[in-house]
Chain A
Amino acid sequence: MLSSIRTVWLVFLHMFKKRVTIEYPEKKAYLAPRWRGRIVLTRDPDHNERCVACYLCAAVCPTDCISLQATEDENGRRKPEYFRINFSRCIFCGLCEDACPTYSIQLVPDFEMGEYKRQDLVYEKEDLLIDGQGKYHGYNFYRVAGVAVGVKGKGEGENESAPVDRKKLVP
Chain B
Amino acid sequence: MAKVFIDDIEYEVPDGKNMLEVCLSLGFDLTYFCWHPALHSIGACRQCGVINYKDENDKRGRITMACMLPASNGTRISIEAKAAHDFRAGNIESLMLNHPHDCPVCDEGGECHLQDMTLMSGHNYRRYRFKKRTHTNQYLGPFLNHEMNRCIQCYRCVRFYKDYAGGKDLDVFAAHDDIYFGRSEDGVLENEFSGNLVEVCPTGVFTDKTLKQHYTRKWDLTSAPSVCHGCSLGCNILASQRYGTIRRILTRYNGDVNGYFLCDRGRFGYEYTNSKKRIIKALKRVSGTYQPIENGNAFEEVKALMGEGKKVIGIGSPRASLESNFLLKELVGENNFYGGISNTEGNLIKQVIDILKKGKVKTPSLAEAKGYDAVFIVGEDVTNTAPMLALSLRQAAKNKPNEEAFAIRIPLWNDVAIREIVQERTGPFFIATVHHTKLDEISSGSFYGHPDNIARLGHAVAQKINNNLPSVPDADRESASLSSSIAEALLAAKKPLIVSGTSLFSKNVIEAAANVAYALKEQGKDVGLIYTVPEANSVGMTLLSENFVDDAIARVEKERADVLLILENDLYQRIGKKDSEAILKRCNQVVAFENLENETTNSCDYLFPAGTFAESTGTIVNNEGRAQRFYQVHIPRNEVRSSWKWLDILRQDLQTAEAKDFDAIVDELIQKNPELQKIKETAPTADFRIGTQKIPRSPHRFSGRTSMIANINVSEPKPPVDNDSPMSFTMEGYHGIQPSPDTAFYWSPAWNSVQAINKYQIEVGGPLHDGNPGKRLFEPDENRQAKYFNDIPSSFHPSNDELLVLPLYHIYGSEELTALSHAVKERIPQAYIALNENEARRKGLNAEGGKVEFYYQDKKWELSLKIDNSLPDGIAGLPKGLNETSGIGYPFRTKINS
Residue numbers of A with Cβ under 8 A of B are 52-56, 58-59, 61, 63-70, 72, 78, 84-86, 88-89, 101-102, 118-119, 121-122, 124, 141, 144-147, 149, 154-155, 159-171
For the complex, give the distance between the alpha carbons of A167 and B243 in Å: 44
Residues in A whose Cβ lies below 8 Å from that of B212: 72
CB contact under 8 A between A145 and B100, given known A84-B710, A164-B133: yes
B135 lies within 8 A of A154 (CB):
yes
Chain A residue nearest to B129 (CB atoms) is A159
CB contact under 8 A between A164 and B102, given known A66-B703, A70-B215, A85-B707: no
Add 16 more A-B contacts to A56-B104, A59-B703, A165-B178 (CB < 8 A).
A55-B703, A84-B707, A86-B714, A89-B707, A101-B104, A146-B147, A146-B149, A147-B102, A154-B136, A159-B130, A164-B134, A164-B174, A167-B173, A167-B174, A169-B174, A171-B175
Q: List 20 A-B contacts (CB under 8 A).
A: A53-B215, A55-B217, A59-B219, A64-B703, A64-B706, A67-B710, A69-B214, A70-B216, A84-B710, A86-B707, A146-B147, A146-B149, A147-B147, A149-B105, A154-B135, A166-B174, A166-B180, A166-B182, A168-B175, A168-B178
B276 part of interface (Cβ distance < 8 Å) = no
For the complex, give the distance between the alpha carbons of A83 and B50 in Å: 46
A161 lies within 8 A of B710 (CB):
no
CB contact under 8 A between A146 and B710, given known A64-B703, A72-B212, A166-B180: no
Residues in B whose Cβ lies below 8 Å from that of A64: 702-707
Chain B, residues 210-253, CB within 8 Å of chain A (1/0): the string is 00101111011000000000000000000000010000000000
For the complex, give the distance between the alpha carbons of A65 and B133 in Å: 40
A65 lies within 8 A of B174 (CB):
no
For the complex, give the distance between the alpha carbons of A118 and B100 in Å: 43
B132 part of interface (Cβ distance < 8 Å) = yes
Q: Quick one: which of B173-204 are within 8 Å of A by CB?
A: 173-176, 178, 180, 182
9 closest cross-chain pairs (CB), A and B: A146-B100, A67-B704, A54-B104, A58-B703, A64-B705, A166-B180, A67-B707, A155-B134, A146-B149
With a 10 A CB-CB cut-off, give which of B130, B178, B216, B713 has the most chain A CB atoms: B178
For the complex, give the distance between the alpha carbons of A53 and B109 in Å: 12
A63 lies within 8 A of B706 (CB):
yes
Residues in A whose Cβ lies below 8 Å from that of B2: none
Residues in B whose Cβ lies below 8 Å from that of A59: 110, 217, 219-220, 701, 703
Residues in A whose Cβ lies below 8 Å from that of B220: 55, 58-59
For the complex, give the distance between the alpha carbons of A84 and B704 in Å: 9
B718 part of interface (Cβ distance < 8 Å) = no
B131 lies within 8 A of A161 (CB):
yes
Residues in A whose Cβ lies below 8 Å from that of B216: 55, 69-70
CB contact under 8 A between A159 and B104, given known A59-B217, A165-B174: no
Chain B, residues 432-472, CB within 8 Å of chain A (1/0): the string is 00000000000000000000000000000000000000000
A163 lies within 8 A of B135 (CB):
yes
Residues in B whose Cβ lies below 8 Å from that of A53: 215
For the complex, give the distance between the alpha carbons of A101 and B215 in Å: 18
Chain B residue nearest to A55 (CB atoms) is B217
A58 lies within 8 A of B134 (CB):
no
Residues in A whose Cβ lies below 8 Å from that of B173: 166-167
Residues in B whose Cβ lies below 8 Å from that of A78: 105, 215
B175 lies within 8 A of A170 (CB):
yes
For the complex, give the distance between the alpha carbons of A109 and B220 in Å: 31
A88 lies within 8 A of B102 (CB):
no
Task: Output the least CB separation between A57 and chain B (Å).
Answer: 9
CB contact under 8 A between A146 and B176, given known A54-B105, A69-B214, A164-B134: no
For the complex, give the distance between the alpha carbons of A78 and B710 in Å: 24
A160 lies within 8 A of B132 (CB):
yes
B150 lies within 8 A of A146 (CB):
yes
For the complex, give the distance between the alpha carbons of A118 and B173 in Å: 59
The one of A54, A72, A168 in contact with B174, judged by C-beta atoms closer than 8 angstroms, is A168
Chain B residue nearest to A124 (CB atoms) is B711
Task: Output the least CB separation between B135 and chain A (Å).
Answer: 6
For the complex, give the distance between the alpha carbons of A89 and B706 in Å: 7
For the complex, give the distance between the alpha carbons of A101 and B105 in Å: 10
B103 part of interface (Cβ distance < 8 Å) = yes
For the complex, give the distance between the alpha carbons of A86 and B709 in Å: 10
Chain A residue nearest to B704 (CB atoms) is A67
Task: Output the least CB separation between A63 and chain B (Å).
Answer: 6
B101 part of interface (Cβ distance < 8 Å) = yes
B708 part of interface (Cβ distance < 8 Å) = yes
B706 lies within 8 A of A122 (CB):
no
Residues in B whose Cβ lies below 8 Å from that of A122: 707, 710-711, 714
Q: Quick one: which of B112-141 are within 8 Å of A by CB?
A: 130-137
Residues in B whose Cβ lies below 8 Å from that of A166: 135-136, 173-174, 178, 180, 182
A163 lies within 8 A of B105 (CB):
no
Chain B residue nearest to A85 (CB atoms) is B707
The one of B102, B109, B176 in contact with A145, judged by C-beta atoms closer than 8 angstroms, is B102
For the complex, give the distance between the alpha carbons of A122 and B713 in Å: 9
B134 lies within 8 A of A86 (CB):
no
B704 lies within 8 A of A66 (CB):
yes
The one of A63, A88, A155 in contact with B714, judged by C-beta atoms closer than 8 angstroms, is A88
For the complex, give the distance between the alpha carbons of A43 and B361 in Å: 68
For the complex, give the distance between the alpha carbons of A96 and B261 in Å: 37
Residues in B whose Cβ lies below 8 Å from that of A89: 706-707
For the complex, give the distance between the alpha carbons of A160 and B99 in Å: 11
Task: Output the least CB separation between B186 and chain A (Å).
Answer: 12
The one of B134, B182, B217 in contact with A163, judged by C-beta atoms closer than 8 angstroms, is B134
Chain B residue nearest to A72 (CB atoms) is B212
CB contact under 8 A between A145 and B101, given known A86-B710, A121-B714: yes
Residues in B whose Cβ lies below 8 Å from that of A146: 100-102, 132, 134, 147, 149-150
Task: Output the least CB separation between B145 and chain A (Å).
Answer: 9
The one of A67, A70, A144, A163 in contact with B101, judged by C-beta atoms closer than 8 angstroms, is A144
Task: Output the least CB separation between B207 and chain A (Å).
Answer: 12
For the complex, give the distance between the alpha carbons of A118 and B149 in Å: 46
With a 10 A CB-CB cut-off, give which of A67, A69, A119 has the most chain B CB atoms: A67
Task: Output the least CB separation between A74 and chain B (Å).
Answer: 14
Chain A residue nearest to B715 (CB atoms) is A118
Task: Output the least CB separation between A91 and chain B (Å).
Answer: 11
Residues in A whose Cβ lies below 8 Å from that of B101: 144-146
With a 10 A CB-CB cut-off, give which of A54, A85, A118 has the most chain B CB atoms: A54
A52 lies within 8 A of B704 (CB):
no
Residues in A whose Cβ lies below 8 Å from that of B708: 67, 84
B704 lies within 8 A of A58 (CB):
yes
A164 lies within 8 A of B105 (CB):
no
B710 lies within 8 A of A171 (CB):
no
Residues in A whose Cβ lies below 8 Å from that of B182: 166
For the complex, give the distance between the alpha carbons of A61 and B176 in Å: 44
Chain B residue nearest to A142 (CB atoms) is B105
For the complex, give the distance between the alpha carbons of A103 and B702 in Å: 23
CB contact under 8 A between A86 and B150, given known A147-B100, A154-B134, A167-B173: no
